[in-house]
Amino acid sequence: MKDKIISLLAAFETENIGNSFPLDYCLPVYHCVSDDNLPHIKHIIQYKNTKQFEEDLDCLSKYFQFVSWSEFKDFVKGNFKPQKKIALLTFDDGFREFYDTVLPVLERKGFYACNFINPAFINNQELMFRCKASLIIDEAEKEKIADPEIYKMLSMENPSKEDFKQQVLKISYHQRDLLDQLTEKMGIDCDTYLREHTPYLTTEQLKTLTQKGYGISSHSWDHPKYGELSLKEQMESTDRTFNYLKENNFMYESFAFPFTDFGVKKDFFDELFKNEELFCCFGSAGVKLDSVEQLFHRIPMEMGTSGKEILKKEIAYFRLKKIINKNKIVRK
């Protein structure tokens, strides 16, 4: 019902998104852009192809002024006066396609982007637990007859393929050993997959991107959902990543939450910003304000529709929430 109301309101949004956009900044976030079939991503992210991505960029550049990291910082400080509302382009997870597919587009158009990475996966050392889930689902869809032992491991009995998929996607960071058991049972060799498909960026590629002026920053060590971690676990993952960034001369002034900042309490931010080198952090709640002034929310752009439609829905939802005074997240 909520989605239907938002879609209806979005249909009445004006064509000039720049004028109706409620904030002075727009922060789109992507994970991957590819024209290929990517089994490790396709069941968890509705990634866009090159044409769709370029159409999004063309739409955004019509209404917003793309900025670099230094310009974004100056804007927040009040030292940069843009000609239009600004847009800072961001990517998460450090997938290889950022180098192979996205970089040529950015260089041709002259746009900056920052990629928030998980050091645990760089150089294809390990596969993120959700990517393992995607591989499991992909393999299950190929099988005509499934091994009942696999269903037993998930406490399921003769489920539909959709039920199986949803159950696998529910497996959390703290249960990720179960994914390893499932991949072994199904004959999925993640180490071989990493070697053959190289889904993640390498250190050499990260350094080339930095030399070209693009940002490489923090997305936690190995992509847990922070709302499910203790404060100690949150800070261990965050601090370990910052140390990695500093050691490699990458950008250590920002942090982007993996998954979402939902459920993250004020005490984490109090602890996080004891690090005086940190300028800000990023959530992904869409067009939202936050009681933590140094937390900026990004707009997920991989929702199965065009960037323009996503922005219209975000504007409509912001207006709807404003009526009931719910467009600002308050941390306790």
**Is the distance from CB of 8 to CB of 265 less than 8 angstroms?**
no
For residue 1, pLDDT over 80 is answered with no
**Is the distance from CB of 78 to CB of 218 less than 8 angstroms?**
no
Q: Tokens 């990260």 — which residue?
A: 206
Count of Cβ atoms closer than 10 Å to residue 279 Cβ:
17
For residue 15, pLDDT over 90 is answered with no
* Alpha helices, H only, the chain: 2-10, 17-20, 50-63, 69-77, 97, 103-109, 129-142, 148-153, 161-169, 176-185, 190-197, 203-211, 231-247, 266-272, 307-323
For residue 5, pLDDT over 90 is answered with no
**Is the distance from CB of 13 to CB of 312 less than 8 angstroms?**
yes
3-state helix, strand, coil in the chain (%, to 5): 45, 15, 40
Amino acid at 309: E
Task: Quote the pLDDT of residue 325.
Answer: 86
Please name the helix (run of DSSP H) or strand (run of DSSP E) that holds residue 48, with its range, or none.
none
| Percent above pLDDT 70 for the chain | 95
Q: What's the burial of 215, exposed, middle or buried (CB within 10 Å: 0-12/13-18/19+)? A: buried
Over residues 85-100, the mean pLDDT reads 98
Sign of the CA dihedral running 49, 117, 215, 64: positive
Over residues 262-283, the mean pLDDT reads 98
Whole-angstrom distance, CA of residue 304 vs CA of residue 325: 29
Task: Quote the pLDDT of residue 16.
Answer: 81
Task: Quote the pLDDT of residue 227.
Answer: 97
* Each residue's pLDDT tens digit, 219-240: 999 999 999 999 999 999 999 9
Can you name the residues that pair with 215 across neighbouring β-strands? Answer: 114
For residue 7, pLDDT over 80 is answered with no
Among the listed residues 132, 121, 120, 122, the one whose alpha carbon sits nearest the alpha carbon of residue 184: 132
Over residues 182-199, the mean pLDDT reads 97
Cβ within 8 Å of residue 134, ≥6 positions away: 39, 40, 41, 42, 43, 44
Domain with CATH 3.20.20.370 in the chain: 2-126+199-329
* Each residue's pLDDT tens digit, 126-163: 999 999 999 999 999 988 767 889 999 999 988 888 99
Over residues 278-289, the mean pLDDT reads 97
Question: Across all residues in the chain, what is the average pLDDT?
Answer: 95
What phi and psi values does residue 62 have, to the nearest 5 degrees? -70, -35
For residue 8, pLDDT over 70 is answered with no
Count of Cβ atoms closer than 10 Å to residue 145 Cβ:
5
- Half-sphere exposure of 114 toward its Cβ, with a 13 Å CA cutoff? 27
For residue 251, pLDDT over 70 is answered with yes
Amino acid at 226: Y
Helix, coil or strand: residue 180: helix
Pairing of strands 254-256, 89-92: unpaired
Task: Quote the pLDDT of residue 150.
Answer: 93
Over residues 166-188, the mean pLDDT reads 97
The structure tokens listed for 113 are: 């982007």
Q: Yes or no: is domain 2-126+199-329 CATH 3.20.20.370?
A: yes
